[in-house]
Amino acid sequence: MKIINNLRDFLVDHEYYIDIFEDKLHAYNYQKLLKLNDKDLMLKFEKFVLDVKGENIKILEMNKEEILIKGNIDSVRMINEK
Amino acid sequence: MKNKNHKLIVSVKAKNKNKLLLKIFELGISISKINYKKNELEFEVMLEDYFKLKKYLVSYKFNIKGSTGLDKIINIIKTKKVLFLNILLAIILLFIFSNTIISVRVIHSKKYIRDIVASSLEDYGVKKFTWKKNYKELNQIKNKILKKYPKNLEWLEIEKKGMTYIVRVEERIITDIKNDDSKCNLVAKKSGVIRKINYTKGQELKNVGDYVNEGDILISGSIKFNEEVKNSVCANGEVYAEVWYSSNVKLPLNYTKSKTTGKKRYNFAVNDKKIFRSRLKNYVTKKKKLFKIFGVNFILLREYEVENKSYKYSEEQALVKALELSNEKIKMKLSEKEHIINQKVLKKDANNSTMYVEVFTSVEEIISKQENFIEEEKEVE
């Protein structure tokens, strides 16, 4: 897995990326999980905070760099920290 | 659980699952396949991280539900050791039994053919309690055996049937041409008057109507012309002659005949032992097997009442019967081509109960047989 990740890092030169699906959200290269409850999830990235609002929000997979969540997502908002 | 990289399925009781997840994140632990249950959270975590969770989140009670990947398989094997050992043993036995030969059967009516094939097969390693050979090897062995016995074996086939090799052989029959070179006469094996001559080879020395004695040459193998032997062959044919027999018949004049009266009774038997006593005095029995349980036969018996009546032959009847008996006795000795010509009563003698009859029978039968002779060398003057 490390080889694949390194290769991906080399090929995809992004600081972060966020994939939004119908009932899922995948975030890569986040820094911190700031808030978590059934209706709200906040992730800190290097330059902004991602605020995901909805209902029945649950984490499916989680590690230091990536997170996959599931739920009825109502809104995704980027809050700049300037 | 020696492999630190292997994953565990862990369950933990938590009222506030989100709080727990935040704590896990704070510890920098990766978790996957998170399953939200009522008052419980289930997820997969590395063994290394599981120890970290246990160390830092002491207020939670983590339970290992199982493992994943190779360790899961190893765990299953460990817990169901006996079952897997049995399966393994069964596979090994199946492999051994399906690849072992326990008997080699050579099919041929002649013993010497069976023996040479069996010994050759053994020499080439086709014997009982050995591993099965593949098609190519069997073919090679087959060809080697056929090459080894070119005069005895025509064809050979080795067939695998379960744990047995069935070897079918065909014998090579070489016609002995030398036989045609043998010289023989047709001679009389009995005395009699010739009635018919059929021959394909040789020279006729006797004619129809001639009386011949035992040992006389009937058809000669030496073909002569002007008293000089031109050629010698093996005489072949059949010479029929009238020969005579006299036979003695002893016939009892009183005899009994059985006749069914029409009365019938049923009975049962268990292994030939009657169950009920028969109510008939004289009877004949017909058996019918009903069923068999544990080697015990249950038989239905039908008993037909018979009446025995005594009779006595008259003199004429006794003579006819005696001739019949004599006829049967002679016919037993004859072949299909031979037959009885005539029968006569020579002598008869009767007392109260028995009649003695001497019967003279003339029969047409084959009296010729082949007899080899050695050709005389001509003297050189």
CB contact (8 A) between residue A62 and residue B33: no
Higher pLDDT, B57 or A4: B57
Beta-sheet pairing, B62-67 with B7-13:
antiparallel
Q: Using CB atoms, which residue from B18, B22, B32 is nearest to A61?
A: B32
β-bridge mates for residue B232, sequence order? B222
Nearest to B315 by CA among B350, B360, B343: B350
Token pair for B221: 């193998």
Q: Which residue of A has its CA nearest to B34?
A: A60
**CB of B125 within 8 A of CB of B154?**
no
| Per-residue three-class SS string for B225-273 | ECCEEEEECECEEEEEEEEEEEEEEEEECEEEEEEEEEEEEEEEEECCE
- Looking at the complex, report in whole angstroms how far the Cα of residue A48 sits from the nearest Cα belonging to chain B: 19
* B70-88 pLDDT, tens digit each: 778 888 888 888 998 999 9
Confidence check: pLDDT of B284 > 60: yes
Q: For position B373, what pLDDT does the model report? A: 81
Q: For position B183, what pLDDT does the model report? A: 85
* B179-197 pLDDT, tens digit each: 556 788 899 999 999 999 9
Element (H, E) at A19: strand A17-20
CB contact (8 A) between residue A60 and residue B33: yes
Q: Length of chain A in residues, anyone?
A: 82
Nearest to B149 by CA among B178, B179, B181, B106: B106
Q: Using CB atoms, which residue from B18, B34, B36 is nearest to A61?
A: B34
Q: For position A40, what pLDDT does the model report? A: 94
Residue B162 three-state SS: coil
* B87-125 pLDDT, tens digit each: 999 999 999 888 888 889 999 888 888 998 999 999 988
Q: For position B72, what pLDDT does the model report? A: 80
The Cα–Cα gap between B337 and B367 comes to 12
Q: For position B297, what pLDDT does the model report? A: 85
Q: Which residue of B has its CA nearest to A63?
A: B30
Domain ranges of chain B: 7-78, 100-171, 177-241, 248-252+313-363, 256-309
Q: DSSP secondary-structure letter at B110?
A: -
Render the burial of B280-313: b for 16+ CB within 10 Å, e for the rest.
beebeeeeeeeeeeeeeeebebebbbbeeeeeeb
Q: In which order are the strands placed within the sheet that holds B184-188?
A: B203-204, B217-220, B184-188, B368-372
- Looking at the complex, report in whole angstroms how far the Cα of residue B89 sits from the nearest Cα belonging to chain A: 38
Confidence check: pLDDT of B271 > 80: yes
* B320-334 pLDDT, tens digit each: 888 888 888 888 888
Which alpha helices (H) appear in A1-82, and where do they start and end? 2-11
Q: For position B68, what pLDDT does the model report? A: 84
CB contact (8 A) between residue A61 and residue B25: no
Q: Tell me the average pLDDT of chain B.
A: 87
Q: Report, as an integer, the average pLDDT of B246-267.
A: 87
* B305-314 pLDDT, tens digit each: 999 888 888 8
Residue A68 three-state SS: strand
The Cα–Cα gap between A8 and B89 comes to 48
CB contact (8 A) between residue B22 and residue A33: yes
CB contact (8 A) between residue B30 and residue A64: yes
Q: For position B376, what pLDDT does the model report? A: 59
A80 CB-near residues (< 8 Å, 6+ apart)? A47, A48
Higher pLDDT, B374 or B321: B321
Nearest to B204 by CA among B190, B192, B222, B189: B222
Give the number of A-B residue pairs with CB atoms closer than 8 Å: 32
Decide if B7-78 and B100-171 have a common fold.
no
B381 pLDDT band, cuts 50/70/90, is very low
- Selected for mutation to probe chain B from A59, A60, A63 (highest B CB count within 10 Å) is A59
> What CATH fold (topology level) applies to the domain B100-171?
Ubiquitin-like (UB roll) (3.10.20)
A61–B contact, CB cutoff 8 A: yes
Burial tier of B148 (Cβ tally within 10 Å: 0-12, 13-18, 19+): middle
Name the CATH code of domain B7-78 (choices 3.30.1490, 3.80.10, 3.40.50, 3.30.70). 3.30.70
β-bridge mates for residue B236, sequence order? B201
A23–B contact, CB cutoff 8 A: no
Q: Which residue of B has its CA nearest to A38?
A: B18
* B2-49 pLDDT, tens digit each: 566 688 999 999 988 999 999 999 999 999 999 999 889 999 999 889
**Residue that has been written with the tokens 């009238």 in this structure:** B242
Structural domains in chain A?
15-80 (2.60.40.2000)
- Looking at the complex, report in whole angstroms how far the Cα of residue A32 sits from the nearest Cα belonging to chain B: 8
Q: For position B2, what pLDDT does the model report? A: 54
Per-residue pLDDT of chain A (82 residues; tens, 9 = 90+): 678 877 776 776 668 889 999 899 999 999 999 999 999 999 999 889 999 999 999 999 998 889 999 999 999 999 986 6
Please give the backbone phi and psi of residue B4, each rounded to the nearest 5 degrees, phi first: -75, -20
Q: Provide the strand spans (E) within B14-72.
A: 31-37, 40-46, 62-67
Chain B residues touching A2 at Cβ < 8 A: none
Chain B residues touching A37 at Cβ < 8 A: 18
Q: DSSP secondary-structure letter at B298?
A: E
In chain B, % of residues over pLDDT 90: 29
